[in-house]
Structures are given as structure tokens and as C-alpha cells.
Amino acid sequence: MNNLAIFASGSGTNAQRIIEYFLSKSGTKVRILLTNRKNAGVIERVKKFDIPVKVFDREDFYGSDNILKILLAENTDWIILAGFLWLVPKNLIENYRGKIVNIHPALLPKFGGKGMYGMNVHEAVIKSGEKESGITIHYVNEEYDSGDAIFQAKTSISLSDTPETLAKKIHELEYEHFPAVLDKLINS
């Protein structure tokens, strides 16, 4: 059995898709959701799946081993970042090196790094005049968005696209690919 821990900061659409995907698969289970926002939409989304939720603060995450202890107690094999905005601390990277995966809403290495999330990314992509964008599923290391890419999917950008229409295209790619790529990675 592969046990997953999902970290999320926002509404949780990707987290929900991952949970739903693995409900129908044997051998992999989402054991816990961790969030740094007590009012994150993801908390409400996961209630119906009977998955425990742990809300933590900066001190828990960066100043102690509390989160690592939770992950170990849940027998976590993989950490999945699904809209999680904080840089992962060294103690988690060291204990889960090569087992932490993130999704980014652009084709890395372009449009990555601190502050490049959500609409910030789509606005920058549109402003730059890029002809395509997409998603990058990648390993997590000590720096924002710089871990090795596992998978990328692209979409074209038309002259009429806005940051909002591009965001919709990117969400569709995320929903289509993220759970399946995780499944292949984890269970191969």
C-alpha cells in the first residue's frame, strides 16, 4: 500500500480529483490532508471522504518536527503538493527526497519561483506574449519550482485568451493529467 499525504492551501480542486481517482484504485490511499490555512476551501472538499485534516502554522512547519511526526505516524510514502504555496522545509525534503511531487500551472522552467502561483502565473504568461502554456508535474527540492520535471502537457494560447481563459485551460490539463501521472509514478 502506498500512503499519500496531500498538502494544499486553496480551494482544493486538484486534491479532490486525486482523492477521487485513488478511491477506485487498490494499492494507493490518501491518508491525510495538511493545510496552512484554517479557512482553505480544501477542508470542506475532503470532509465527504472521511480523510483527516491537519491545519498547521509556520512554527509547526518550519520551527519543529511536528509535521514530519504526523507524516511518519500516517506511514506516509509520498507527499503531493496540490496548490500548496509554502517552500517545503529541509527536514521534509531530507526524509522524503524523490517522494515529494508538485504541480505547477506553467511550462517550467519558465514562470516559476516564489510568487508565481495561480493568476500571477497566467497574467505573466499572457503579458509575455507566449504562444503556449501548460502544466509541469515535478519533484520538489529545496527551491521553488526547480525540481526535475516528471511530465508536461501543453495548450496553445490564442490572441483572444485572457488570464482567466488561460486558467481554465490549465485547470483542464491539471484535472486530466495530475492523478494519472501520480498513479504511474507511484505504482510503477
pLDDT digits (tens, 9 = 90+) for 72-82: 999 999 999 99
Q: If we measure between CA atoms, which residue out of 135, 125, 137, 129 comes closest to residue 170?
A: 135
- Annotated active-site residue 138? The verdict is no
Q: How confident is the model at residue 95 (pLDDT cuts 50, 70, 90)?
A: very high
What's the whole-number mean pLDDT along residues 12-30?
A: 95
**How many domains in the chain?**
1
Q: If we measure between CA atoms, which residue out of 62, 58, 139 comes closest to residue 104?
A: 139
What's the whole-number mean pLDDT along residues 114-138?
A: 97
The answer, yes or no, to whether residue 4 has pLDDT greater than 90, is: yes
| Helix segments in 48-162, DSSP class H | 58-62, 66-73, 90-95, 118-128
CATH number at residue 131: 3.40.50.170
pLDDT of residue 132: 98
φ, ψ (nearest 5 deg) of residue 76: -65, 130
Q: How confident is the model at residue 100 (pLDDT cuts 50, 70, 90)?
A: very high
Separation between Cα atoms, residue 159 and residue 28, nearest integer Å: 42
What's the whole-number mean pLDDT along residues 99-117?
A: 97
Please give the model's pTM, rounded to 2 decimal places.
0.96
Judge if the upstream peptide bond of residue 109 is cis by omega within 30 degrees of 0: yes
Question: Strands across the sheet with 100-104, in order?
Answer: 53-55, 28-35, 2-8, 78-81, 100-104, 132-139, 149-156
Are 61 and 89 in contact, with CB atoms under 8 Å apart? yes
pLDDT of residue 58: 97
The answer, yes or no, to whether residue 24 has pLDDT greater than 90, is: no
The answer, yes or no, to whether residue 25 has pLDDT greater than 90, is: no
Point out the catalytic residue in the list 104, 122, 138, 177. Answer: 104
Domain range for 97 is 2-186
Mean pLDDT (the chain) is: 97
